[in-house]
Structure 1
Amino acid sequence: MRHTTPPSLDDILEMAEQAFAAIPATLRDKVRGTAIVVEETADDEVLEAMGIENPWELTGLYRGTPLTQKSVLDVPLEPDTILLFREPILLEWVETGEELFKLVRNVLIHEIGHHFGLSDADIDRLETED
């Protein structure tokens, strides 16, 4: 997909939904009900809570209770959500030259890893394994 203008929030969401649809069904079923939301950047409250000063450093965020910490007795207050941040993703796209769809897919997969209770270090290790 070639863009002559910066991809919109809807464009990024469409890519994320395509990437999600391509995940194996057994994995996708375990993430069912998790909302995918695209926002321009993380808000100040999120950045402060994560100790991040530069909003361009955060391309995605998993908000919810990881499966490893859920109980059947828990009453969910809001759905688990994967947030993708458009502007930082586009900045990384421009800086790296990475294919945009691949970049969106990688951010989505990274955040799905958090849904399964994996840490950033765990995810990084999985991504670098042959």
Structure 2
Amino acid sequence: MRPTTDDSLLHTLLREATAALEEGQFEEAEATCRRALVLDPRNAEVCLLLGQALREQDRLGEAEGAYRAAVLSRPDLADAWAGLAGVMCEQLRWDESRRAANRALREDPGHPEAAWIRGVLRERRGDNAGAQRDYLRAWRSDPQTFPLPVPLDDETVEQVVGECLVQLHPTLREYLANVPVILEELPSDEQLQHYDPPASPTGLLGYFSGSSLMERSLHDPWSNLPSAIVIFRRNLERFAHDHEQLVDELRVTLFHEVGHFLGLDEDDLEERGID
């Protein structure tokens, strides 16, 4: 039986949407998926691709809807369950994320993203041994995308902090001497919810708390204490492929938070290449 014109067009649109996603053309991928859904509103593959395109644009609520449509049409589609787990995690909906990740792994025990997300969730619950097992599972399936965490010890942090301070103006070093650099394992829910929308639980590498230098009183510059720069060890460990990249990212993160101490916002930091 020969395919209909609509079937041929649908397959063409699927290929185009996939190519656009791979090339980072997320808006184009979204538009192509929406054209495909006119032809087949319940097509699970199209809904999956749409979810991925929306997720890349940080439109998490819409991505969730697309992933749900995909698993409604294809309950065995592990990629869609994993995508759903990812957007739930980004929205700090931990229990829902865990259930979706477990379902993805039930459908595909080697699914790398689902294993990685479950590892992140286990880490937040303090189950570090279980998290390491899941990270190992993800790495075995896709080592390029999901490298094993690179350990970050206190001595490395102290060394990099010292190196960063040396590069700053002496006056700024004097101010920063009163701002501790604190190493924490993971960002708390409260720290994530400080941002609107909430910060990514896996992407937040550092955090500045307190008043910036610009906000301090000219007569009593320390009246608004305490201020602190917080570095999140586990997120940095997961970010890097090797120790060199880990140290580089730690350095960038420290300068980023020093920028916030100076009163620079995210746009200012991006303009200066410290993002």
Amino acid corresponding to residue 124 of structure 1 in structure 2 = E
Going by fraction, where is helix more abundant, 1 or 2? Answer: 2
Note the residue ranges of structure 1 that are not aligned, 5 or more in a row. Answer: none
Number of residue pairs aligned between Structure 1 and Structure 2 = 122
Of structures 1 and 2, the larger Rg is shown by 2
Q: Which residue of 2 aligns with 1:14?
A: 158
Percent identity (aligned): 25
Q: Which residue of 2 aligns with 1:119?
A: 265
Contact 1:15/1:101 (8 A) holds in 2: no
Contact 1:15/1:105 (8 A) holds in 2: no
| 4+ runs deviating over 3 angstroms | 73-78
- Do structure 1's residue 89 and structure 2's residue 236 form an aligned pair? yes
For residue 117 of structure 1, report the CA deviation from its aligned partner: 0.3
Note the residue ranges of structure 2 that are not aligned, 5 or more in a row. Answer: 1-149
Cα separation, 1, equivalents of 2:151 and 2:271:
32
Cα separation, 1, equivalents of 2:222 and 2:158:
30
State how 1:1-130 maps to structure 2 within 5 Å: 6-8=151-153, 10-26=154-170, 27-50=172-195, 51-52=197-198, 54-71=200-217, 72-73=219-220, 76=223, 78-94=225-241, 99-127=245-273
CA RMSD between the two structures = 2.5
Q: Which has the higher contact order (CA 8 A, sep 6+)?
A: 1
For residue 12 of structure 1, report the CA deviation from its aligned partner: 4.6
Kindly tell me: are residues 53 and 22 of structure 1, through their superposed partners in 2, closer, same or farther at Cα, counting changes over 3 Å?
closer
Q: TM-score, normalised by structure 2?
A: 0.40
